[in-house]
Structure 1
Amino acid sequence: MNWLLILHIVALLFWTALLVYLPALVSGTVYTSSETENSLVLRQRLPRLLFTHVATPIALSSIIAGTLVFVVYHNIGIWLIIKLTLVVLLVINHALLGLLILRAESGSGKPVRRWCLASALVTGTLIIAVLWVVLSKPPFESIP
């Protein structure tokens, strides 16, 4: 059963790494006129490719493995509810990053760099919060 926990942790590491990397990649999609057409096409398609074919499947495998860990080990507590809430916020951030990639691809001239920075900061904050909740399992007071 430890393989489930290892799969969950490894998938979570890759998912959160991509959630930090993709905003940097998207913000770097401001093109100069000196770029060749091939490099321009690659830089436009790479964020979407990584998002749809790498980040999303890894996120799903992390969530499925985490759910199976919960079912197998029967770890129930207030800390788990808080962790799941933080994971839901990570999923929302993941979806918003997909919208940000679409906005950057549209080329409408709307600035996306600030949103990329915000996405990376939110991701970093959520990662730290999840790690704190899971590793310390603080004794949250139960609601009467």
Structure 2
Amino acid sequence: MLWLLLLHISAVVCWCGSLLYLPALITGTASQHTDIERERQQAMMLMVYRLFSTPVALMAIASGTALFITGGISKHWLIIKFTLVAVLVLCHVLSGWMLLLTQNRSYKNIGVASVLLRIVVAILIPSIVWIVLSKPL
């Protein structure tokens, strides 16, 4: 069970790090001036999103679910944690949608949207950590 907890924590750290990094990549892609630079940046964004961020997100969710099931945890704080994780999943989906917008070049205020996304993720991460460590309810 300890290895499962270690897997979960490392997957969550990687996922949250990639969620903080993806909006910066999206903003950087939108600001590229030449097509070659933009294509190279888009390829890197797709690689980070598809080959790193999404697999570690699935690993974090699967290992967290396994910890929940095997540990028999049924406390009230867990509902709050699940809600915050669901919002984090929505942020993951939003970053993928913003990625598609940059590929289609149909972005107008993508910089503002990516900053807002980064702020939401930066608030969610410590909130989830606080809920898990303090278990207030």
Q: Tell me the equivalent position of 1:10.
A: 10
Structure 1 segments of 4+ aligned residues over 4 angstroms from their partners: none
AA aligned opposite 2:71: Y
- Residue-by-residue CA offset, 1:55-107 (whole Å, 9 max, x unaligned): 00100000000000011111110001110111011001100110011111111
Q: Tell me the equivalent position of 2:77.
A: 79
When structure 1 is superposed on structure 2, of 41-50 and 66-75 the one drifting more is 41-50
Q: Number of matched residues?
A: 136
Q: Tell me the equivalent position of 2:24.
A: 24
**Aligned equivalent of 1:94, options 89, 92, 95:** 92
Q: Distance in 2 between matches of 1:41 and 1:100?
A: 15
Question: Over the residues paired in the alignment, what is the CA RMSD in angstroms?
Answer: 1.3
Q: Distance in 2 between matches of 1:89 and 1:82?
A: 11
Equivalent residues in 2 for 1:119-130 (5 A)?
119-130=117-128
AA aligned opposite 1:28: G
Q: Distance in 2 between matches of 1:4 and 1:82?
A: 22
Mind listing any 5+ residue stretches in structure 2 that lack a counterpart? none
**How far is 1:109 from its partner?**
4.7
**How far is 1:31 from its partner?**
1.2
When structure 1 is superposed on structure 2, of 60-69 and 108-117 the one drifting more is 108-117
When structure 1 is superposed on structure 2, of 44-53 and 58-67 the one drifting more is 44-53
Q: Distance in 1 between matches of 2:42 and 2:49?
A: 12
Q: Tell me the equivalent position of 1:58.
A: 56
Q: 1:59 is paired with a residue of what secondary structure?
A: helix
AA aligned opposite 2:23: P
**How far is 1:128 from its partner?**
1.2
Q: 2:33 is paired with a residue of what secondary structure?
A: coil
Structure label with greater radius of gyration:
1
Q: Distance in 2 between matches of 1:20 and 1:70?
A: 26
**TM-score computed with the length of structure 1 as normaliser:** 0.89
Q: Tell me the equivalent position of 1:142.
A: none
